[in-house]
A and B are shown apart, each in its own frame.
Chain A
Amino acid sequence: DTGVSQNPRHKITKRGQNVTFRCDPISEHNRLYWYRQTLGQGPEFLTYFQNEAQLEKSRLLSDRFSAERPKGSFSTLEIQRTEQGDSAMYLCASSGTGNSPLHFGNGTRLTVT
């Protein structure tokens, strides 16, 4: 069990640019989640995949955000035309079925200048 891996750890971008983050979940986990966390707040749910199917999307996920999980393995989160309000820590988590707990990566910290 190598844990959930997220890359890059940090990303600084200029407003208006597109960014893409990658998440590699624990290999046997079929559920994958993306969360966003800003300073002093708890993680906010963005989206959820079961295998390759995106089953839940938060209203927080505007049309500038898109997530994919091809072949039910790694996942990518893309933000188009970034805005300063997108600056946050983006966390990925994976879990098994049933009431299995979430296993989080250490996140990608995005700074939009």
Chain B
Amino acid sequence: DAKTTQPNSMESNEEEPVHLPCNHSTISGTDYIHWYRQLPSQGPEYVIHGLTSNVNNRMASLAIAEDRKSSTLILHRATLRDAAVYYCISYGPYGSTGNQFYFGTGTSLTVIP
């Protein structure tokens, strides 16, 4: 059972901002929201994670809805190197129902030059 729902694919023009949505309507209060991305034949790469507040790092920003049922990964200026499959994952503490670091189908991002 998918714990998160993401669009299968999205396109963005190079140097434009990209907003990747994720629904996690069954998330519990102790589950963190993680975002990873993967290039073909490479291991997933950490992008960002958060619990309740919006988060920023050098790669991206994470906007978490007030009810925590959805979040959005924001790439401020897409580059060709950002073309990848992006995964949104909800992950909870040991003993909770969300204890598996489970990858869904992700969103395949295409960046158009």
- The answer on A and B forming one complex is no
Please list the residues of chain B having a beta carbon within 8 angstroms of any beta carbon in chain A: none
